[in-house]
Amino acid sequence: MSLCLEEVNYTVDKKALLKNINIRCEAGALSAIIGPNGAGKSTALKLMSGDLHPTSGTTLLNQAEISSYSTRELALHRAVMPQQTSPAFGLKVWEMVKLGRAPFAENHVLTLEHVEKSLRIVDALHLADRELMTLSGGEKQRILLAKALAQVSVEDVSVGNKKFLLLDEPTASLDLKQAQTVMRILRAAADSGIGIVLVIHDIASARRYGDVVFLLKDGGLAYAGEPKSVLTAEKIADSFDVDSETAEDSLGI
Amino acid sequence: MESPVRTNSIAYLSNQSKSKRMLALSILGGMALLALVTSILTGPVEIPISAIWQGLKRTFGADPTTMSGSSAIVSVIRLPRVFLGVCVGAALGISGAALQGLFRNPLVDPGLIGVSSGGALGASVWIIFGSTLTFIPEFLMVFALPVFAFLGSLFAMVLVYRIGSRRGHVSIAAMLLSGIAINALSAAALGFLVFVSNDTQLRSINFWTLGSLGGAIWAKIWPSMIVVVGASILILRDAENLNLFAIGENDARHLGCDTAKLKRRMIVLPAMTTAAAVSVSGIIGFIGLVAPHLIRLLAGTDHRLVLPGSALLGVILILTADILARIAVSPAELPLGIITSLVGAPFFIWLLVRYKGWMP
């Protein structure tokens, strides 16, 4: 079970943002997409979430073309964690997480169990009754993660272990400890069978928690494979266009 | 480790919020009923409560032999007025709530997408040029004004929608701006009509743009009521989708909501509802803005509460304003629009001041 970009080109106004990309993310693995600004990381993620459609090539979710899914079917199979949130009207934390179960036609009691479980995973059950916008940045990020986890819960037997969670720099605005917490939760989620796909700038975290790394450069796939083989000083120095010392440091070894 | 929240907490919170929702809706329902009865009993002729029941029976076709004078007043004058009030209040309230959900902005009003000004223009066109349209049969003449107003509302709304969207993709900002433009155009055209009108026509236009529940007759109310009830039911079915939409358009889509279709429904249905109501009553401002906002302030932001709650509160507000309009300068009657604007505008200013901080 996988989420793949096959021979994908994506062009906007004659500018090629992605060139002949092949990315294959497996369920149960943590795939990290890495690369300098403007390399096409977020575009790749938007293609994989079904927000954008490739100019040529295909996006496959569990072997079926992603455009063949209805909006709701897609929501049963993949979640996208937004980088931030600004609800139009006030919202309690538990109400926010509950929205993660919106795609599922299920018993109300079951929904609430999912909400509680997800909040427990991100260690935020004590925040359940708080107004969302009164939380700190790190807390809000954890709530968004809980909502996404509620959506991709592996307990939905009808869908089984075929769900994917897509995240665009989930740790970018977090302090060291919060970032570590989020990465550990994602690692555990991958181990439980969910496919995690994340765009991340923190190379050391990608190396430590990732199963597979895709290194993008100028809209093309420069390197792909296991973190230890892809995230080396030479390859970092090459794709990020930095000197070898800076590349060494970024690995955090 | 002891958590400060009990283990069954989410179920508890959910139950609590549901009871609160039901309580709020029950209170609003009770208040609406009270306003309804008070409105029927208010007027130059004293009416015993028992006459309400007889008036209802008479209106809905039972036993015309037991009629007293007061039940005739109820049936012919008071009930149509109250039913029109229910229709208009519910329409404005639920439309305001739906549009605020769509635009993700608590300061939106049905007037904003051209519905009111288009309706005023349509009505004025009939008032000025109606007498020249001699091909319209006599028995349809009573419907002519509301039909013209309805067509004007729909036309303005469709224009706003077409300008504000491209290939079915609705841009919220473009929609708001095109609403402003169409409103300005309608105002200019209306100004021209006022300029060419004679004294009697001017008085009619003026009366219509200020809104009133007076002079309501059953023949005009039924068609309007059918549209309002039908469209409101369809709007209520989207309550959960509007909850998703409130956290952001992309987020809503990622959670399985077909946002393109939702946006289309949430423009067309509120516009139809409002058009159907104001085509009979004339323009009544601020109810659609104030009702949803008060509900959110007092009871919560879940659209399963805000949509029906705003409809009920719209009814309460409009019937109360109508009672005031009738007793303030009795035996004359103030136009209803004056009262709603007199109370609504300061409330709107208060909202602006309160939310200045987060407005772009």
Q: Is the pLDDT of residue A68 over 70?
A: yes
Q: Is the pLDDT of residue B2 over 70?
A: no
Q: How far is A151 from chain B (nearest CA, A)?
A: 8
The one-character DSSP state at B35 is H
Split at pLDDT 50, 70, 90, the class of B328 is confident
Q: A129 and B248: CB-CB below 8 Å? A: no
Q: What is the pLDDT of residue A162?
A: 83
B43 vs A148, residue with greater confidence: A148
Q: Is the pLDDT of residue A131 over 80?
A: yes
- Residue in A with minimal Cα distance to B100: A88
- Residue in B with minimal Cα distance to A102: B255
**Is the CB of residue B96 less than 8 Å away from at least one CB of chain A?**
no
Q: What is the pLDDT of residue B1?
A: 46
The structure tokens listed for A175 are: 């302090």
Q: What is the pLDDT of residue A161?
A: 54
Q: Which range (B3-7, B194-198, B215-219) has the least confidence?
A: B3-7
Q: How many CB atoms lie within 10 A of CB B201?
A: 18
Q: At what angle do helices B303-328 and B79-102 cross, to 10 degrees?
A: 140
Q: Is the pLDDT of residue B6 over 60?
A: no
> What is the Cα–Cα distance from A44 to B34, expressed in whole angstroms?
59
* Chain B residues closer than 8 Å to A79 by CB: 254
CATH superfamily to which B21-358 belongs: ABC transporter involved in vitamin B12 uptake, BtuC (1.10.3470.10)
Q: What is the pLDDT of residue B358?
A: 46
- CATH number assigned to the domain comprising residue A44: 3.40.50.300
Does residue A94 belong to any structural domain of this protein? Answer: no
Interface test with A, best of B243, B255, B261 (most A CBs within 10 A): B255
Q: What is the pLDDT of residue B63?
A: 56
Q: Is the pLDDT of residue A18 over 90?
A: yes
What average pLDDT does range A133-151 have in this prediction?
A: 94
- Those of residues 100-159 in B touching chain A at CB distance below 8 A are 101, 104-106
The one-character DSSP state at A28 is T
The percentage of chain B sitting over the pLDDT mark of 70, rounded to a whole number, equals 92
What are the backbone angles phi and psi of residue B171, rounded to the nearest 5°? -95, 120
**What's the N-to-C CA distance of chain B in angstroms?**
45
Total residues found in chain A within this entry:
253
CB-closest option in A71, A80, A92 to B257:
A71
> What is the Cα–Cα distance from B335 to B339, expressed in whole angstroms?
7
Looking at the DSSP bridge assignments, the partners of residue A220 are A217
B80: preceding bond cis by omega (within 30 degrees): no
The percentage of chain A sitting over the pLDDT mark of 70, rounded to a whole number, equals 98
* Chain A residues closer than 8 Å to B244 by CB: 99, 102
- Residue in A with minimal Cα distance to B8: A116
Does residue A206 belong to any structural domain of this protein? Answer: yes
What average pLDDT does range A163-186 have in this prediction?
A: 92
> What is the Cα–Cα distance from B45 to B60, expressed in whole angstroms?
22
Per domain, the residue ranges of chain B are 21-358
Split at pLDDT 50, 70, 90, the class of B94 is very high
Interface test with B, best of A89, A97, A117 (most B CBs within 10 A): A89
Q: Which range (A13-22, A194-203, B31-40, B59-68) has the least confidence?
A: B59-68
Does residue A16 belong to any structural domain of this protein? Answer: yes
> What is the Cα–Cα distance from A1 to B210, expressed in whole angstroms?
64
Q: B13 and A92: CB-CB below 8 Å? A: yes
Q: What is the pLDDT of residue A125?
A: 93
**Is the CB of residue B238 less than 8 Å away from at least one CB of chain A?**
no
User: Rounded to whole angstroms, what are the CA distances from A75 to A17, B84, B196, B264, B302?
Assistant: 26, 43, 58, 21, 22
Q: Is the pLDDT of residue A189 over 90?
A: yes
The one-character DSSP state at B43 is S
Does residue A221 belong to any structural domain of this protein? Answer: yes
Q: Whole domain around residue A216: which residue ranges?
A: 2-87+161-251
* Chain B residues closer than 8 Å to A99 by CB: 243-244, 247, 255
CB B2 within 8 A of CB A125: no
The structure tokens listed for B215 are: 């002079």
> What is the Cα–Cα distance from B44 to A153, expressed in whole angstroms?
66
A45: left (phi over 0), alpha (psi -120 to 50) or beta: alpha
What are the backbone angles phi and psi of residue B310, rounded to the nearest 5°? -65, -35
Q: How far is B103 from chain A (nearest CA, A)?
A: 9
**Complete edge-to-edge strand list for the sheet that includes strand A78-81:** A78-81, A164-168, A195-199, A30-34, A212-217, A220-225
Quote the number of domains for chain A.
1
Does residue A102 belong to any structural domain of this protein? Answer: no
Q: What is the pLDDT of residue B355?
A: 66
Looking at the DSSP bridge assignments, the partners of residue B87 are none
Q: What is the pLDDT of residue B359?
A: 45
B114: left (phi over 0), alpha (psi -120 to 50) or beta: left
Q: A94 and B250: CB-CB below 8 Å? A: no
Q: Is the pLDDT of residue B353 over 90?
A: no
Model ipTM value: 0.93
Total residues found in chain B within this entry:
360
Split at pLDDT 50, 70, 90, the class of A32 is very high
Q: Is the pLDDT of residue B65 over 60?
A: no
* Chain A residues closer than 8 Å to B259 by CB: 71
Q: How far is B296 from chain A (nearest CA, A)?
A: 8
Split at pLDDT 50, 70, 90, the class of B49 is confident
What average pLDDT does range B91-97 have in this prediction?
A: 95
What average pLDDT does range B41-61 have in this prediction?
A: 80
pTM of this structure: 0.88
Q: What is the pLDDT of residue B92?
A: 94
CB B97 within 8 A of CB B307: yes
CB-closest option in B11, B251, B257 to A112:
B11
Split at pLDDT 50, 70, 90, the class of A111 is very high
What average pLDDT does range A242-246 have in this prediction?
A: 88
Q: What is the pLDDT of residue A113?
A: 93
Tell me the pLDDT tens digit for each residue of B96-105: 999 999 888 7
Residue-by-residue DSSP string for B188-236: HHHHHHHHH--HHHHHHHHHHHH--STT--HHHHHHHHHHHHHHHHHHH
Contacts of B323 (CB under 8 A, 6+ apart): B35, B38, B39, B42
Question: B360: exposed, middle or buried (C-beta count within 10 Å: 0-12, 13-18, 19+)?
Answer: exposed
Q: Is the pLDDT of residue A45 over 70?
A: yes
